[in-house]
Chains A and B, each alone.
Chain A
Amino acid sequence: MAEVSVNGVRLEVSLQLVDKAKPGDYVLVHTGYALQILSDEDVTLANKFMEHESPNST
């Protein structure tokens, strides 16, 4: 079990479904379980997306 904080609300979640979660990780939480450790991948995706698709470049 681990404690996660969602904007100030703290709750206990089980880490049984994820590998190698460590303090400081962002996790996706669903019905008392962490389902995934989140990456910052799509911040870059979003930015890339905006660059490629921005109205100026078309």
Chain B
Amino acid sequence: MLITYMEMENSYKITLNHGSGGKMMHELIDSVFLNSFSNGKMIQQTDSAIIKNASTHHAFTTDSFVVDPIFFPGGDIGKLAVCGTVNDLAVSGAIPEYLSCGFILEEGLELGELLIIVHSMAATARVAGVTIVTGDTKVVPKEKCDKLFINTSGIGRVSDENLELGTGNLVEVGDVVILNGGIAEHGMAILCEREGINFHSGIESDCAPLNHLIHEILSNDHGITFMRDATRGGVATVLCELSKSRKLGVEIWENEISIRENVASACEILGFDPLYVANEGKFISVVKAGKAGQVLEKMKAHELGREAKIIGKVVDNNPGLVVLETSIGGKRVIEPLAGEQLPRIC
């Protein structure tokens, strides 16, 4: 039985673990938010809520962005705020249309920095083909927030045949798992910029709007049964959630999962498992085996999918588990991330 956080001792405090995308975050969501806001839409916990109407269906999502540092190789908090929401809509099978943005600014923030970030948001929105139509700004006293926080919400249209793409309900044994490129770039780019870690890794965030690529592969009779972007908690978390919710086995092959050499190296130095590290331009799609070739071909033709590969398949053994075949032919179970990964020493 899940003990709700309300029942816990008053001294219980939120720790950084509650935001890591792992088990503790899910417990917090379940016991605090879902408990209080309980309704059929939210309970599905998909990347976007799907609102069905007689004429058109809409996908609706929201995301908040807090990142330190606010500028990093390959992007900034503004670009991230647009991409994150656009991608949540796109992997839900929607065509993203409108975004809102809310800013919480720390007293003392340089106006120049804010301008760069807002320009970056505008530029990314143009590339993604979405319009930012409403917004809000609040300023809080110094040290009440870290430079600036951004929230974006987004809305998009979904066609009848794509309504279930974010749920996993269509996935069946025999489907294959496709990943559109190298993993762990965003998470490691951020980490290498943090104070206290003095690396020069040359790693750039993969932060990018995926909606055009996804639009390409969602043509008629596409054979795609599931999509999700592999953000916090990485590729491992997406696959664990899928296998658990559908009680199916997922097998993945380490040798087929792309990772840039410097990213792998930074992970090894810090003792991080790249499968759990955040991406901002990578998504998992599960596809009927017979359609995999076609989807892969379309992906490879797109700039953000050039390195797309089949990394595994849905199987009937080990239901509820993700099993990795290691680079040397060994096997291990991939468990959901429990908390923030920590740099280790040996």
A residues adjacent to B (C-beta < 8 A): 6-12, 30-31
Whether B198 lies near A8 (C-beta < 8 A) is: no
Cβ-based interface call for B345 (8 A)? yes
- Residues on B with C-beta less than 8 A from A8 are 201-202, 260-262, 265
Q: Of residues 238 to 278 in B, which have CB atoms within 8 Å of A's CB atoms?
A: 260-262, 264-266, 268-269
| Distance from A28 Cβ to chain B, minimum over Cβ atoms (Å) | 12
Whether A9 lies near B345 (C-beta < 8 A) is: no
Q: How many residues of B contact A (CB 8 A)?
A: 17
- Residues on A with C-beta less than 8 A from B262 are 7-9
Closest to B264 in A: A7
Cβ-based interface call for B37 (8 A)? no
Whether A9 lies near B201 (C-beta < 8 A) is: yes
- Residues on A with C-beta less than 8 A from B12 are none
B residues adjacent to A (C-beta < 8 A): 192, 198-203, 260-262, 264-266, 268-269, 345-346
- Report the bound CA distance from A30 to B345 in whole Å: 8
Give the one of A7, A9, A10 with max B CB within 10 A: A9
Q: A9-B201, A10-B201, A11-B269 are in contact. List 16 more A-B contacts (CB 8 A).
A: A6-B269, A7-B261, A7-B262, A7-B264, A7-B265, A8-B261, A8-B262, A8-B265, A9-B192, A9-B199, A9-B200, A9-B203, A9-B265, A9-B269, A12-B198, A30-B345
- Residues on B with C-beta less than 8 A from A9 are 192, 199-203, 262, 265-266, 269
Contact of A11 among B198, B260, B264, B268 (CB under 8 A): B198
- Residues on A with C-beta less than 8 A from B199 are 9-11
- Report the bound CA distance from A8 to B200 in whole Å: 9
| Distance from A32 Cβ to chain B, minimum over Cβ atoms (Å) | 8
- Report the bound CA distance from A6 to B192 in whole Å: 14
- Residues on A with C-beta less than 8 A from B261 are 7-8
- Report the bound CA distance from A52 to B136 in whole Å: 74
Could you give 11 example pairs across A and B, Cβ below 8 Å? A6-B265, A6-B269, A8-B261, A8-B262, A9-B192, A9-B199, A9-B202, A9-B265, A10-B201, A11-B198, A11-B269
- Closest 10 pairs (CB-CB, A-B): A8-B262, A7-B265, A10-B200, A9-B201, A9-B265, A7-B261, A6-B265, A9-B266, A11-B199, A9-B262
Closest to B192 in A: A9
Contact of B345 among A7, A12, A31 (CB under 8 A): A31
- Report the bound CA distance from A8 to B260 in whole Å: 10
- Report the bound CA distance from A11 to B200 in whole Å: 6
